Chains A and B, each alone.
Chain A
Amino acid sequence: MSAIHINGESYPLPDDPRTTLLDFLHQNLSLFGTKKGCDHGQCGACTVLVDGQRMNACLMLAFQLKGKNITTIEGIGSNTELHPLQQAFIEKDAFQCGYCTSGQICSGVALLNEMAQSDPSIVSAQQDCSTREDIAERMSGNLCRCGAYPNIVDAIEQVIALERQS
């Protein structure tokens, strides 16, 4: 089972164990949607989903992910239909330069599940808080140099409201 599964496709693991998942996506698979920002786990631009959980692709060596299911921004929606959060990012103008956006969206998609299953955050754990405050805390691992934060929170809040309605 020395394969890694990315967006539903299986690939052999890289020969060089030094290869991070992020470099593997870029150099071996030409999947450039996941961005390299700081390359040190500080900015969140490289956020992907590993078995549904958001993680920094720059800090994971690919060989450690044998048998895991990875979802990158290329696997979030489909060629014909955007994920509701992708659509919300457009509607709410939740980006300017767009470099952090793929990481923001992957992170936001995981956040929707975490909040739906009532996982605690430090603000929800320690005090009464608004949904916006909770989202801001949960998204603190994704930096935006353009400062699009209010609109990013708007987009996520919109999808949460949609999900609650349905």
Chain B
Amino acid sequence: MNPFSVQTLGSEGDVEKLNLDAQTRYLAGGTNLVDLMKHQIETPVSLVDLSEWEGASEIEKTGNGYRIGAMVTNTELANFAWREPSLSVLSQALLSGATVQLRNRATTGGNLLQRTRCYYFYDTAKPCNKREPGTGCSALTGMNRIHAIFGTSEQCIATHPSDMAVALMALNASVSVKTAMGKNRDIALREFYCTPGETPERENVLEQGDLITSVYIPAGTRGTQHYYKVRDRASYAFALVSVAAALELNEETIHSVSLSFGGVGTIPWYPKKALEILQGNKFSVQLLEKAIDAELADAKTFGSNDFKPGLLRRVFLSVMLSLAQRQKKQPGHEGALYENR
């Protein structure tokens, strides 16, 4: 690990007093950043320690929604969301990710900013445009079983690793940010991430020194919810494919549907085309197939991940049919899919 200096943030109002340059990183739980520093992938000259940041570890429930402080841990958020039927999919996504040890340490803000687990991003002996722009993408012709099928470019096909962000995207969350100049701004999560394009090193719309202060989830009924994650082992593995979904039927019609896909995009994938086809229409298997096929029309595979479109299609159909079954059995149901939840 390279030497670095440490600054401390005591409160949100102190951001303007920090010395923030391109070589400064905010350090929250550190479960990803410290690891990247050990690998010499991140080599900050200065860290801003957030562990004493007052007021950033609270969850506020209001009439309009939920305000999640940036330093709320993944465990705290999972446990809270578990008790809120309208946030069930978020709890399931969080509990699907990492391990208890990591979730106890990892934070809401940090989870959103975690870096890809692409093998070549981590292997400093190999070219990687995300780690070292202009060197090339080893995954394009290499081992790309875990890589993306949506939002890729000739420069990068690395998958976004977060489960939490997938659920938050389905829940239409937004990110609140304090800029280095002390200004506040809110960004819809669906507009927060950048696909790699020609600049894979740029992963989101944050500017230098921007600090995520909280995440906001609007309240509302969303119907029956489920997070289904397919991975190479039963626990503690990143998603090959995941589907976050919520469905509310009004008799046979789709009253509301929320969707997002993980493990398949260079960013947590918001399936606009599928949603446009589904929303407000009569629920049927044919409609589901039409929706997922429209989304998959844009998918591009790279050899080892050729299985992903088919897998995503099957998982999507299975999840949506299960949600519809529960809605038909119990109209107006709100919460997790399973019978006794």
How close is B238's CB to chain A, nearest CB, in angstroms? Answer: 12
On chain A, the residues within 8 Å of B64 by CB distance are none
A54 touches B104 (CB 8 A): yes
| Selected interface stretch from B28-36, B150-158, B263-271, B312-320 | B28-36
On chain B, the residues within 8 Å of A110 by CB distance are 100
Which A-chain residue is minimally distant from B50 (CB atoms)? Answer: A64
In the complex, which range does the number of interface residues on chain A fall in? 35 or more
Q: Is A8 an interface residue (CB 8 A)?
A: no
On chain B, the residues within 8 Å of A56 by CB distance are 31, 101-102, 105
A18 touches B75 (CB 8 A): no
Give residues 121-157 of A contacting B (CB, 8 Å). 121-122, 125-128, 136-138, 140-141
How close is A76's CB to chain B, nearest CB, in angstroms? Answer: 16
| Selected interface stretch from A26-34, A37-45, A86-94 | A37-45
On chain B, the residues within 8 Å of A140 by CB distance are 99, 234-236
A41 touches B82 (CB 8 A): no
Among B49, B78, B98, B340, the residue within 8 A (CB) of A128 is B340
Give residues 304-341 of B contacting A (CB, 8 Å). 336-338, 340-341
Q: Is B79 an interface residue (CB 8 A)?
A: yes
Which B-chain residue is minimally distant from A49 (CB atoms)? Answer: B104
User: Once A and B bind, how many residue pairs between them come within 8 Å at the CB atom?
Assistant: 97
Among A41, A54, A61, the residue within 8 A (CB) of B100 is A54
Q: Mark A97-119, 1 if CB is under 8 A from B, else 0.
A: 00000000001001100100001
Asked whether A137 and B235 contact (CB < 8 A) given A55-B104, A107-B100, the answer is yes
Q: Is B111 an interface residue (CB 8 A)?
A: no
B101 touches A54 (CB 8 A): yes
How close is A164's CB to chain B, nearest CB, in angstroms? Answer: 21
Give residues 137-167 of B contacting A (CB, 8 Å). none
| Residues of B near any A CB (own CB < 8 A) | 1, 3-6, 27, 30-31, 34-35, 38, 47, 49, 51-52, 75, 78-79, 82, 91-92, 95-96, 98-102, 104-105, 234-236, 336-338, 340-341
| Residues of A near any B CB (own CB < 8 A) | 17-18, 20, 39-41, 44, 47, 50, 53-56, 59-61, 63-66, 107, 110-111, 114, 119-122, 125-128, 136-138, 140-141
